[in-house]
Amino acid sequence: MGLESIHNNHKLLPEQAADSIVNIIVNGEFSKGDQLPNEFQLAQQLNVGRGTVREAMKILVSRNVVEIRRGTGTFVADKPGVVEDPLGLTFINDKDKLAYDLCELRLILEPAIAAMAAERATDSDIRKIEEACEAVEKRIAEGEAYSVEDVAFHECIAKSSKNVVVPNVIPVIQSSVELFILYTDAKLTAQTIHTHKAVTQAIKDKNPEKARQAMVEHLIYNKEYIEKTTKERKK
């Protein structure tokens, strides 16, 4: 993209340069973890000033498209474009409402994701889900925090859906899993183990409807507990 074509755009020059760099990445010239050309080389390639490239990189860092490693260079992020808090959940102060509404959202999404996983998971995927399920149970049995393992379990199921968009929903699922465990003070351990096993077995059996229902049951436990504790606090 030359300077003239960049100027024929309503966006500011650094934003246009950032878009051009994204296009270079998306078109397959670079993959996640690859090092990008240096500032001078990109300025020449895009026919813009080095200051414009510098500002473009700031934009791409904020979007989690690239990461800058001091003394090494600029690299394509591991999950380009996927930010940690895409819905701004950190800034919602009413945690009771947030926990409940996240549960509603998960009830819309995750049962369908589990059903897709039951239809599409490979033998390798199923082994990873089983291992993740066992890891949660082991942490619970040891009386240890298990949010990392719980997130990994749901992540394995999401990836097994083979839907390219679903894994990008994982940051939302991750934040909600951690919030639910904190919110319920990890009191739903028995229900977590039981429903995780049910979801895992349904996916292993290639039974989409059972996987869907098991995931609904898993989330309903959380939803009901949130409703109960919220009412008790408001008395």
Averaged pLDDT, groups of 10, the chain, 235 residues long: 50 92 88 92 94 95 92 91 77 83 90 98 98 96 90 94 88 70 71 96 98 96 83 71
- Domain spans in the chain, listed from the N-terminal domain onward: 3-76, 89-234
Which SS3 state, helix, strand or coil, does residue 85 take?
A: coil
**Type of residue found at 92:** I
What's the whole-model pTM score?
0.74
The predicted pLDDT at position 1 comes to 42
Phi and psi dihedrals of 74, rounded to 5? -110, 135
**CB neighbourhood size of 41 (10 A):** 11
DSSP state of 70: T
9: left (phi over 0), alpha (psi -120 to 50) or beta: beta
CA–CA separation, 55 and 53 (whole Å): 5
DSSP element (H, E) containing 36: none
The predicted pLDDT at position 20 comes to 93
Beta-carbon contacts of 48 under 8 Å, excluding residues fewer than 6 positions away, are 3, 6, 13, 17
Span 3-76 CATH architecture: Orthogonal Bundle (1.10)
CA–CA separation, 140 and 144 (whole Å): 6
DSSP element (H, E) containing 74: strand 73-76
CA–CA separation, 116 and 157 (whole Å): 9
Specify whether domain 89-234 bears CATH 3.40.50.1220. no
